[in-house]
Amino acid sequence: MPMNDNSAPTLDEQAGHCFACGPANPQGLHLHFDRSEHPETGHPTVTATVNLTRIYEGPPGYIHGGIIATLFDEAMSKLNRPLDTLAMTRHMEVDYLRPSPLYQDLTLTATHERREGRKLFHSAQLHNAEGTLLAQAEGLFIAINPAMIPSNITPEKAGH
Ligand SMILES: CCCCCCCCCCCCCC(=O)SCCNC(=O)CCNC(=O)[C@H](O)C(C)(C)COP(=O)(O)OP(=O)(O)OC[C@H]1O[C@@H](n2cnc3c(N)ncnc32)[C@H](O)[C@@H]1OP(=O)(O)O
């Protein structure tokens, strides 16, 4: 794992193996998000283009539902940093409205809705290129103590 000069890993380095967004995970999705502000509420919003192959297939020709949940979990988690909060997913609901096709550019978006103390409420959507809503989610993230996140994970420490 790359280290900074003080050998304390940065948050990005700690998250480098994240299955959805980590650049260091050879089997990950390598999602990249652009961040902006919602035009009406000013709340943080993130967007990514996803185009998935059969590795992620569920029904023939379509993305597996668990992977769609992963996309939503990741997109909503990306809202926590602009809110200056380290948080983990506590609850998520997903509506699968239409099958989500493989091999097509789909637009993944997430927006912060509201905060109640440690509780962050976010929403997320997946649209096809025609603008049809394919799936949507609501998520509850809970602000955590940074000490919950181990600073250095190795296979040896994980028992492998
Ligand atoms: C994460 C850091 C990563 C750093 C790098 C970023 C890279 C990105 C990677 C990100 C990867 C993607 C992200 C991932 O995949 S994160 C991985 C998936 N998530 C987890 O593994 C989290 C596991 N859970 C926990 O560790 C604990 O439960 C945590 C720490 C989250 C909270 O435990 P804690 O004991 O502290 O709190 P609590 O359980 O009492 O609950 C708290 C409050 O919530 C209320 N509540 C519960 N349910 C509902 C509901 N349905 N509607 C409304 N409210 C609800 C509940 O009543 C309570 O309210 P109150 O009584 O306090 O008022």
CATH number at residue 69: 3.10.129.10
4 and 55, same domain (yes or no): no
As a whole number of angstroms, the distance between CA 46 and CA 150 comes to 26
Render pLDDT for 9-62 as a digit per residue (tens, 0 to 9): 777 888 899 999 999 999 999 999 999 999 999 999 999 999 999 999 999 999
Q: Give kind and range of the element (H or E) at residue 138.
A: strand 133-143
Residue 45 lies in domain: 31-145
Number of structural domains, the chain? 2
pLDDT at residue 86 above 60? yes
Nearest CA to ligand 1 atom 28: 90
- What pLDDT shows up at residue 160? 54
Q: Which residues are designated catalytic?
A: 73
Residues 35 and 43 sit within 8 Å (Cβ to Cβ): no
Please name which of 87, 82, 142, 79 lies closest in space to residue 113, comparing C-alpha atoms: 79
Closest ligand 1 atom number to CA of residue 88:
16
32 lines ligand 1 (CB under 6 A): no
